[in-house]
Amino acid sequence: MSLEEYMGELKGQIRDKSARIFVSDEILSHIEEQADSYLQAGMDRGTALSKAVEDMGDPVSVGADLDRIHRPHMEWRYLIFIMFISVLSIVIQYLISRDMDSLSITGNIFYDIFRRHIIGIMAGIIAMFLVYRIDYTALLGRSRLIGVIFMAAVTLIAVAFGIRVNGSRELIRIGFASFSLRALMILYIPIFAGILYELRGKGKRVMGQIVFWMILPVISPFFTGDLSIPSALFILLAETVLIFIAVHKNWYEIDKKIVYGGFSVVFVALIVAGTAFILRLNTYQSARFSNWLSNLGIGSGITDDTGVNYLNAQLEKVFAHSAIIGKSDEAVRIMSDIPGYQADFVMGSIAAICGLIMVAGIIICMFSLAMYMIIISVRQKNSLGYITGCACGIVVALQSISNILIVFGLLPMTGSSLPIFTSSISFCIVDYAMIGMVLSIYRYKDIRRNYSPNNIRNDGKQEIAA
C-alpha cells in the first residue's frame, strides 16, 4: 500500500476535521522517521517508505484507535451541574413571584419578571451550546484585532442606540430588544486573555502594550461621560488577576515580584481615585458610598433605617427574620418592599422564601461552579485554552463574590447580578456564554496542541509540519 493510500484510509476513520489534520501530521512524521532509519540501513527510498508504512499496521484499526483518543469531549458532570443550577434558579424565581407578587409595593408585575427569567435561561443555554460548538482558537493570532473591533463596535452601538439611565448609558436598545452595556463589556475579558497569550514570549517590552489593552475598555466610556466606576473596577480586577496568572506562567521573562507589586499598586491607586471621584459627587452614589464607609466604621454617616441606609437596613432585617429552613412571613413582608428583590438582591428573597440553608447552598453552588470552570481550564495542556478558560471562571467568581458582598453590606450598593439566578436576560446570556467557552475548551482538550510563535502562520492558524 502506498503512503498516499495509507494516509487516505487512516484519515477516513477520524471524524473531527481538526483532529484529522493533527493526527495525520503526527502519523506522517512517524512514518518519515522510520523510513529514514531504513535508509540508513541501506534500503532505497521506495522500499524504505513501503516498509515504514507496513510497520504502522492496518490503517483502519490505527485510525479508529486514534479517533477514539483524539475526539471532541463533552464534560457531562459539568453540564449536568449547570442544568441543575438552571432548574433550581427557575424554581426559586417562581417561588419568589408566587409569594411576593401580592405583597409588593410596585404592583402586579413579577410573574412577568419570572417569565423573563425563563427567557433569559433559555437564551443563555442556546448561547452556551452555540459557543460550545465554536472553536475557541479563533482567538489565536487575532485577539488584538478582535479587541479593537469589539471595543469600536460597542462604542458606536452605545452612542447610536444607548439609553441613559441615572445619567449614563446602561442599556442598548435596538427595536424592541434591549441589552445591558455592562454585561456586553464583560465579553472583553476572555478577549484580553487571548491578547495576553499573543504577547507571550516577547520579553519585558510588552508590559506597556498589556497596560494599554488593559485600560482600553475604560478609555471610551471615560471620554464619552458614560464611565461606570463599579463596572470599570470589575473589569480591571479581572484583567489584573489574568496578568498575574500569565506572569506566573513566565510568559514575559520579567521579575514576578515587580509585576505583582506594580499592578497591585496601580489597582489600589485606581480604587482610591475612584473613591475620591465618587465622594466629590453630590449624588446618591456619593451618599451610598459614604454610608457604606460608615457601616464599616470609617467616617460618620446615616445609621438609621431611612434615606441611603434604607436598603442595607432592610436587608439586615430580612436575614435576621429568615428561618433556617423554609419560609418566613415577616422576612417575606420586609423583602417585598425592596426594589430589585428578583435581580440585584435575589439572595435576600431566597433567604425569606427558602431559608438560610438554601442561601448557603446557593453560595456553595456558585463558588463550586466558578472553581469547576477554573479547574477544567488549569488542567488544559493548551496555554490558550488555559488562560481563556480561567478568564471565564474569574468572571463568574467575581460576579458571585461581588453580589454576595453587596447583599450582605460588605460592598457599596451598586448594580450587580448573581450568575444564572439573576432576572437580567443580558447577564444570563453572557454568563452562559462564558460557561460555553469552558465547554469548548474541554471539547478540544485532546485535539489542540500547545501553540507557539514558531508554528503559527500569518493567518493565525496552526502550521502543520510535514
Predicted confidence pLDDT, tens digits, the chain (466 residues): 788 888 888 777 776 666 676 677 778 877 888 888 888 888 888 888 888 888 888 887 777 766 666 566 677 888 999 999 999 999 998 888 877 755 554 445 556 778 888 999 999 999 999 998 887 877 878 899 999 999 888 888 887 777 766 556 677 777 777 788 888 889 999 999 999 998 887 776 788 888 899 988 887 666 555 667 778 888 988 998 999 899 888 888 777 777 777 777 776 776 666 666 555 555 555 555 555 555 555 555 444 444 556 677 788 888 899 999 988 888 888 888 777 666 678 888 899 999 999 999 999 999 999 999 999 888 887 888 899 999 999 999 999 999 898 888 777 777 778 899 988 888 999 999 999 999 888 887 755 544 333 333 333 333 333 2
Domain shared by 129 and 168, yes or no: no
Quickly list DSSP for 263-278. HHHHHHHHHHHHHHHH
Would you call 267 exposed, middle or buried from its count of C-beta atoms within 10 A (0-12, 13-18, 19+)?
middle
Which residues, in sequence order, are CB contacts of 152 under 8 Å at separation 6+?
A: none
Domain shared by 96 and 175, yes or no: no
The half-sphere exposure of 300 on its side-chain side, counting CA atoms within 13 A, is 0
- End-of-domain residue from the set 45, 69, 93: 69
The pLDDT score that the predictor gives to residue 85 is 94
Asked if residue 177 is part of any domain, the answer here is: yes
Domain shared by 57 and 81, yes or no: no
Task: Give me the domain span that covers residue 235.
Answer: 142-280
Asked if residue 287 is part of any domain, the answer here is: no
Domain shared by 167 and 222, yes or no: yes
| Domain tally, the chain | 3
Asked if residue 171 is part of any domain, the answer here is: yes
Domain shared by 20 and 149, yes or no: no
The pLDDT score that the predictor gives to residue 253 is 76
Q: Cβ distance 180 to 426 under 8 Å? A: yes
Asked if residue 290 is part of any domain, the answer here is: no
Predicted structure pTM score: 0.76
Domain shared by 261 and 358, yes or no: no
The pLDDT score that the predictor gives to residue 456 is 36
The pLDDT score that the predictor gives to residue 391 is 95
Domain shared by 217 and 114, yes or no: no
Domain shared by 110 and 30, yes or no: no
The pLDDT score that the predictor gives to residue 207 is 81
Domain shared by 21 and 105, yes or no: no
- End-of-domain residue from the set 226, 252, 280: 280
Asked if residue 322 is part of any domain, the answer here is: yes
Domain shared by 102 and 186, yes or no: no
Rounded Cα distance between 461 and 138, Å, is 8
Chain length of the chain: 466
Rounded Cα distance between 8 and 4, Å, is 6
Asked if residue 151 is part of any domain, the answer here is: yes
Q: Cβ distance 357 to 325 under 8 Å? A: yes
Q: At what angle do helices 346-354 and 310-321 cross, to 10 degrees?
A: 20
Asked if residue 291 is part of any domain, the answer here is: no
Q: Cβ distance 352 to 318 under 8 Å? A: yes
- End-of-domain residue from the set 39, 69, 99: 69
The pLDDT score that the predictor gives to residue 435 is 94
Distance of CA 10 to the CA centre of its chain: 38
Asked if residue 392 is part of any domain, the answer here is: yes
Helices (H) and strands (E) in the chain, counts: 19, 3
Task: Report helix, strand or coil for 184.
Answer: helix
Give the CA distances from residue 194 to residues 2, 203, 398, 421, in Å, rounded to whole numbers and listed in that order: 42, 17, 19, 28
Domain shared by 159 and 119, yes or no: no
Domain shared by 303 and 419, yes or no: yes
